Amino acid sequence: MPMQIGLDELLSMLLARVDGMALESENQKSRFNIMFRILYKKGLISDQDVLDSVREEHRILKALGLIEELPPAEALESAAKGLLLWLKGDATAIKKTMDEYEKRVSEAMAKQQKPKIDVAPAAVLNQLDRLGGTQQGGGKKLIL
């Protein structure tokens, strides 16, 4: 006999699973940050190593066909700089970078105009169906 489950129960289970995955991701990120900070402070990782690794990562992504072209040198250097800020634990610089990023995203979102989508109530759609006559397939109309 099939088990029935309500939509709210299904959504609760899915949200709990997503929350668990997000928590595990944050936990893993913290572990990596700690380990790489140790390596950096011991001098086993240099600033140039980070930049070279960022370049190598993008070269591999291009070779695999996951990106079409390599980002410009400035973008690679910016990514390496962001990683170095985390390795160095420079909270002030990280906060400044995050604020600048938020500002750029807000400006881009303000410039971008999204198409407006209006949804007609079911009663209006039914009225339009009645006015248009009955058709096979339910007679539903999509209004653009």
Summarised one tens digit per residue, pLDDT across range 46-100 is: 999 999 999 999 999 999 999 999 999 999 999 999 999 999 988 999 999 899 9
140 vs 106, residue with greater confidence: 106
Give yes or no for a contact between 51 and 43, defined as CB atoms under 8 angstroms apart: no
Q: Cα 139 vs. chain centroid, distance in angstroms?
A: 39
Reading the block at residue 3, the tokens are: 């088990």
Cβ 139 vs Cβ 129: under 8 Å: yes
Cα 19 to Cα 10, 13, 26: the distances in Å are 14, 10, 11
| Domain map (residue ranges) of the chain | 10-44, 46-93
Sign of CA dihedral 15, 17, 23, 25: negative
Check residue 44 and give its pLDDT: 95
Residue reference for tokens 């339009």: 128
State how far the Cα of 141 lies from the Cα of 98, in Å rounded to an integer: 46
User: pLDDT tens across 1-57, in order?
Assistant: 677 888 888 899 999 999 999 999 999 999 999 999 999 999 999 999 999 999 999
Name the CA radius of gyration of the chain, rounded. Answer: 26
Record the tokens describing residue 127, joined without a space: 């009225």
